[in-house]
Amino acid sequence: MNGLDVELRIEERTEKATIMQRYWQSAMPTAESPMADQFYFWSRQHELDCMLFAIDKTARKRLALNGRMDVDHMVRYASKVANNFDCKKGESR
């Protein structure tokens, strides 16, 4: 892997992280948002569609709990959903 490949990979991950962060804010406008580093971590670990699904599930869970999820709980829940989401099939395992 050369320097250009690394730069392109970093740029792609940064773009994915930005999309996730914007989606989080639109799905849960009154919720606290995780640090930018969390979105970047997710961009390295998961496909974008998996994380958008996880964020959506987190928003629905937060709504079901009448907003009683702190940011740590939301991050852990979103991570759990993404880890259990089969991207190839588009369904939870």
Provide block-wise average pLDDT over 10 residues at a time, the chain (93 residues). 86 96 97 97 94 97 97 97 76 57
What pLDDT, on the 0 to 100 scale, is given for residue 89? 61
What pLDDT, on the 0 to 100 scale, is given for residue 34? 97
What pLDDT, on the 0 to 100 scale, is given for residue 1? 73
What pLDDT, on the 0 to 100 scale, is given for residue 92? 60
Pairwise CA distance, residues 42 & 2, whole Å: 24
Residue 24 near residue 33, CB atoms below 8 Å: yes
Residues present in the chain in total = 93
Number of H helices, E strands in the chain: 4, 2
First to last CA, the chain: 33
Query: Of 51, 58, 53, nearest to 72 (Cα)?
Result: 58
Pairwise CA distance, residues 41 & 45, whole Å: 6
List the domain range (segments joined by +) for residue 35: 3-92
Number of domains composing the chain: 1
What pLDDT, on the 0 to 100 scale, is given for residue 85? 79
